[in-house]
Structure 1
Amino acid sequence: MINNSQYIPAAESLTVEFKSDRKRLPDDELVQALVCLANTEGGELWLGVEDDATPTGLHAAHMNLTGLPGLVAARTSPALQVTVEAIEVDGANGSVRVARILVPKATHSEIATMSGQYLHRRIKQDGTPECVAMLPHERTSRSSRIGIFDASAQVVTGATVADFDPIERERLRQAVQHYGGDRVLLELDDEQLDAALGFTARAASGERLPTLTGLLVIGRETAIRDLVPTHELAFQVLEQEYVRFNEFRRFPLLKALEWLETNFRPYNPEREIQVGLFRVPVPMVDLGAFREAVANGLVHRDYHRLGAVHVRLNDDGLTISNPGGLVDGVTIGNLLSTEPRPRNPRLADVMKRIGVVERSGRGVDKIYRGMLRFGRPQPDYNRTDYNNVILRLETVEADEVFLRLVVEQENQSGSLPVDSLIVLSALKGQKRMNAEELAGLVQQDVAVAKRTIESLVETGLVEAHGKTRGRTYTLSVAMYQAKGDKAAYTRQAGFSKLQNEQMVLNYVKQHQRIQRAEVIELCHLTKDQAAQLLRKLADSGEIALCGKGRGAYYQLADRG
C-alpha cells in the first residue's frame, strides 16, 4: 500500500484534477474533465479523491477499471487515449482504492466530447483551476500555440488592399536597406511585394485580400485599430513612485519599433571605454538585444488575446512581456537549444527577410549576448507562465574588466559563441563548476558543453583542475589578474592535496566527525573528489568510517 501523502498531489492545478466517486461520478462528467485536461497541457485525473486531496475511494461501479479507456475513447472525437492505474492508498478509515488516469496533451487537434463540447482548463483568480468552454478564438489560439495553424497567414475579415499604407511600404523598403535585409525585395513593385511576403492571399472570390501579416506590417493605423483590436504596444518608464513615460500605440510594426527606439534612447545612457585602439560603447541596455526582445514580443505574441506588448523600464531593470505563453515544445529550459518554433510563421518570416530580427531564428542568442558580453546577468524568463512570456533584463553597471577581456578575445579570433559567454559568466559568478553543471546552463549535453569549455581552456580564459570525472573549471589566473584579484584565483583554484588532507584532519579534531558534504564545502571539491580524499585518509589509517548511507561519517581512527 502507498502512503498517499507521497503519491497523490497536494492540490489541484492546471494539470491535476481530483474527482470524488462516493456517489458514482457520471460518465459524461468524467469525460468532460478528461477533455479539459487534454485540451490544455494534459495531466492526471484522480478518481476517488476529494477536492482537498483526501482519498475516499472508488464507487463499486468503478472497481473494475479495464473498460474505462475504451469508454473515454468512444465518447471523444478524435478518440482520446488515456492510461488508467488502480492504486491502494491510505484513507481515513483504512486503505482505499483510487484510480490515476493519465491524460496526454492533444497535439494534433482539439478534443471534443461526442456531444460537440470543446472544453479546456484555466486558473481562476483564487489560483484554483476550472473547466470551461473553449470559445472559437481560443481554439484558433491553441492551434497556433501547438503549431498546426498560422493565424498571421489568414485573410482579415473586412480588410481590403486599400487598407495598406503607401508610407509604410516605403518604410519597409528603407528598413530592408537599414537592417541589411533581403535586397531582392527592393526590386519588386507593390503587387509583387505583397505576393512575395504574403501580405495578401487569394479569397474564394479570386480577389487578393490582406492577411494579418500584411495589415500588421504595412496597414493603415485606422485599419489596424478597427480590424486587429488585439494589437497594442505600451512603453512605460517608472522612477520610484513617479511615472516618467506611459504611452500606448497601435502603430504598424515597423513604425512601432522606430517609435519605441526613439523614445527609449533618452533613458538609455551610453558611455565609451578604450580597448586597445578601439572605443567600445557601453549602453545601459544593449540596443541590439533591446530591439530583438521587443520584435520577438510583437512577432510571437498571441493575436487572439487582448493585451499589449509591454516594455517597462524601472529602477531595477527592463521588462518586456507579451500575451501568449511559450509555444508548444519550447520551455525556459530549452530556449537556447531548441529549434525555432514561431507562433506566427508568416509574420516571423517577413520580419527576418526585412532584417529586423535575427535571420537564423536564434534571436534569443542575440539577447543573451547583449547582456553577457557586458558582464551583466543573463536574461531572466523565470516569470513566464501559460498566458504570458515575460523577459527581464537587469540594468546593472557593466563589468568593464570582463568586457575588455571579451573584446580583446573577439579582436583576436572573432565573436565568442553564446555558450562560451554563458560559461565565462557562470564562472565569474559561481567561481568553480564542473562540466555537468555548466552543461545545464548552456542547455546542451555534457559532451557538447565540454567542447565549449575546453576551447576556452585553450584560449587561456578558463583553467581546468583535476582529471576525468573530477575535473572542475575556474576562470584562469590571467582573468583574475586582469580583474586585480589574485587572491580570488588562489581561493578558487583550490589548495594542494596535502593542504586539503590537513584541513579535513583539523576539522575532525575540532568537531569529532565529518561527512562528505562538509568536505565538499570545506575544500571546494566535487562529490567524487571529496569521496577520493576521504578514502585515502581512511586507507592510511588517519580516519575511520562510521555508519552507512546518508548518515555515514568519519572520525579519527583509534590508533590504540
Structure 2
Amino acid sequence: MTPQELQAFIQQGENAAVEFKAMPVRPETVAREMVAFANGSGGMLLLGVADDGSCSGIEDAASTEEWVMNIARTLVTPAIAVTCEILELDDKRIGIVTIPKGKDKPYQTGDKYLIRVGSTNRMATQSELMRLFQMSGVFHYDSIPVSNASINDLNMAALDSYFASYGFEFSRETEEARRQLLINTDILTSAGEPTVGGLLMFGINPTRYLPQAAIMFAHFNGTEIDAELIDRKEITGTLPNQVDAAVAVMKNNLLQPSTIEGTKRKDTTFLPPDKVLREMVVNACVHRNYAITGSRIRIFMYDDRIECISPGRLPNTVTVEKLRSGVSYASNPVLLKFMDNLRYIDRLGRGFPMIFREMRQLGKAVDVYEFGEELRVVLPL
C-alpha cells in the first residue's frame, strides 16, 4: 500500500471493511476486530489511527508486528493468518493489519462469536451463528428436523416411486421397516421427524413449514426492477417440481423474435440454452442457505438479462473462480444426494463449468458474484 492509498482509506472513515484503533489498545480488543472481520468477508485494521481519522502513530514497528501476530495465534480460535505492514504517513508510523475472509468459520475470541455489521461489531445471533457453522461444513441445515412436521406430511406416492427404482416396494413394507428406511436415508431423523431435506424432496406441501423454500419469478418490461411488471409467479412444491416449473415459466416468458433473410428465418434475439437455464435453477435450489428464513430464491427476467438470486454466500473455501474451474461444494448434502439420484444434478462439479462453457461458445459472458448474503448469477439475453 502506498501512503496515498492509506490516506484515502483514512479519509473514507470506518466502514464494514475498515476499523481504526489508536494506540495503546488492549490485545483483547484487537482480537475482537480480527474475529468479526474473519467471520465476514475480511477487512483491514489501522493501528495508530483514532476514530476521527487523526494519526497518533505507533512507537515500535518491530514489536507491534510481533504483537499482532501473537494475538492472531493465541487469542483467536481457530488461529488466523493475518498480515501486518508498517507505513509512514505524515511522520507517523501506521500499522496496517489485513484480516482475510476466514476459511475455518466460525472464529471466536474467548466465548464470543462476533460479526461485522456496518462499522461496528456485535455478537452473532443464534441464526447467524448457525449459518457460520453451516458455511464451515460442521453443520448442515438440511439434516435437521422440521418442527411440528410428521411422517404424515410426506408424499407416500413419491416415496413409492423413488424407492421402486432401487428395488424396494416401499408401500408393502411394514410400518417399522418403512420408518427405518426413511431414517437410514436421512428423510426422517432418528426421532421420526422429517428432515428439512426430506420434506423439500418428498413433502406434500413443504412451504407450509418452510415458507422460505420457494422461487419468486418476475418478468419486467425494461432493464431495471422498477420497470412495468409483465408476469409474476410464486413457485412452490418439492424441489424437483420447483426446478421443472421455473424452467417452464422462463421458457414461456422468453420471446424469440425473428426475421426473414432470403428464404430462411433468422432469430434476432439470443436466448440461453434450456440446459443452462435448468442448471442455474438446480444449483440455486440445491445450494442455497435454507437457514436464511426471510428470503426466497428470486428469478428476475429483464429485456437484456436473467438474474437468479440465491440466499446464502459460498462456503468458506469456495470462490467464484473455483466454481468456474469445477470445484464442487455441498452446503446441503441430503438435497444433493437425492437430486443426484433423481438425475437433476451430479456430484462431479460439472454444473457451473457447463454454464460458463456453453455461454462462452455462444459468445456470451456469465456474471457470478456475491452480494451481501446472496449469490447472483446473471445470464445475458
Q: Partner residue of 1:520?
A: none
Q: Partner residue of 1:89?
A: 88
- Deviation, 1:237, is 1.2
- Deviation, 1:330, is 2.4
Q: Partner residue of 1:340?
A: 328
Counterparts in 2 of 1:49 and 1:361: CA distance versus 1, 3 Å: same
Q: Partner residue of 2:170?
A: 189
Secondary structure of 2:193's counterpart equals strand
Give, in whole Å, the separation in 2 of the partners of 1:380 and 1:134.
Answer: 31
Give, in whole Å, the separation in 1 of the partners of 2:83 and 2:248.
Answer: 58
Paired residue for 2:215, among 233, 244, 253? 233
Q: Partner residue of 2:174?
A: none
Give, in whole Å, the separation in 1 of the partners of 2:79 and 2:87.
Answer: 26
- Say whether the 8 Å CA contact 1:312–1:320 is kept in structure 2: yes
Paired residue for 1:213, among 197, 213, 226? 197
Q: Partner residue of 1:351?
A: 339
Q: Partner residue of 1:162?
A: 152
- Say whether the 8 Å CA contact 2:42–2:102 is kept in structure 1: yes
Give, in whole Å, the separation in 2 of the partners of 1:261 and 1:83.
Answer: 44
Q: Partner residue of 1:19?
A: 21
Indicate the RMSD between aligned Cα atoms, in angstroms: 3.5
Counterparts in 2 of 1:186 and 1:54: CA distance versus 1, 3 Å: farther
TM-score (norm 1): 0.56
Paired amino acid for 1:236: A
- Say whether the 8 Å CA contact 1:268–1:285 is kept in structure 2: no
- Say whether the 8 Å CA contact 2:326–2:353 is kept in structure 1: no
Q: Which runs of 5+ in 2 are unaligned?
A: 172-177, 259-266
Give, in whole Å, the separation in 2 of the partners of 1:233 and 1:315.
Answer: 20
Q: Partner residue of 1:260?
A: 246
Counterparts in 2 of 1:26 and 1:267: CA distance versus 1, 3 Å: same
Larger radius of gyration: 1
Give, in whole Å, the separation in 2 of the partners of 1:86 and 1:372.
Answer: 41
Q: Which moved more, 1:45-54 or 1:338-347?
A: 45-54
Paired amino acid for 1:351: M
Paired amino acid for 1:284: L
> Are residue 302 (structure 1) and residue 289 (structure 2) matched?
yes
Paired amino acid for 1:39: N
Deviations 1:465-491 (A, max 9, x none): xxxxxxxxxxxxxxxxxxxxxxxxxxx
Counterparts in 2 of 1:9 and 1:163: CA distance versus 1, 3 Å: farther
Q: Partner residue of 1:32?
A: 32
Q: Partner residue of 2:275?
A: 288
Give, in whole Å, the separation in 2 of the partners of 1:338 and 1:258.
Answer: 24
> How many residues get paired?
358
- Say whether the 8 Å CA contact 1:353–1:359 is kept in structure 2: no
- Deviation, 1:108, is 3.5
Give, in whole Å, the separation in 2 of the partners of 1:328 and 1:310.
Answer: 23
Q: Segments of 4+ in structure 1 off by > 6 A? A: 60-63
Q: Partner residue of 1:484?
A: none
- Say whether the 8 Å CA contact 2:154–2:203 is kept in structure 1: yes
Give, in whole Å, the separation in 1 of the partners of 2:82 and 2:379.
Answer: 43
Report the identity percentage: 20
Counterparts in 2 of 1:294 and 1:233: CA distance versus 1, 3 Å: same
Alignment of 1:126-525 (within 5 A): 129-169=119-159, 173=162, 184-185=165-166, 187=168, 189=170, 191=178, 194-195=182-183, 197-202=185-190, 207-221=191-205, 224-240=206-222, 241-269=227-255, 284-305=271-292, 306-373=294-361, 375-381=362-368, 383-395=369-381
- Say whether the 8 Å CA contact 2:219–2:301 is kept in structure 1: yes
Higher relative contact order (CA closer than 8 Å, sequence separation 6+): 2
- Deviation, 1:121, is 1.4
Q: Which runs of 5+ in 1 are unaligned?
A: 174-181, 273-280, 396-560
Counterparts in 2 of 1:198 and 1:8: CA distance versus 1, 3 Å: farther
